[in-house]
Amino acid sequence: PSGKGPRLPEVYCVISRLGCFDLFSKILDEVERRRGISAALVYPFMRSLMESPFPAPGKTIRVKTFLPGAGNEVIELRRPMDSRLEHVDFECLFRCLSVRQIIRIFASLLLERRVIFVAEKLR
Phi, psi of 58 (to 5 degrees): 85, 0
Report how far residue 38's alpha carbon sits from residue 30's, in angstroms, rounded to the nearest whole number. 12
105, part of any domain: yes
Q: Are residues 68 and 99 in the same domain?
A: no
State pLDDT tens for residues 82-100: 777 666 677 878 888 899 9
7, part of any domain: no
Q: Are residues 68 and 95 in the same domain?
A: no
Structural domain including 118 reads: 89-123
Q: Are residues 64 and 95 in the same domain?
A: no
Q: Are residues 48 and 72 in the same domain?
A: yes
State pLDDT tens for residues 99-122: 999 999 999 999 999 988 887 776
Report how far residue 47's alpha carbon sits from residue 98's, in angstroms, rounded to the nearest whole number. 49
Q: Are residues 35 and 67 in the same domain?
A: yes
Number of independent structural domains in the chain:
2
41, part of any domain: yes
Cα three-residue angle 81-42-78, rounded to 5 degrees: 10
**pTM score > 0.75 for this model?**
no
State pLDDT tens for residues 19-54: 788 888 899 999 998 988 888 899 989 998 888 888
Give CA 69 to chain center in angstroms.
27
Q: Are residues 42 and 72 in the same domain?
A: yes
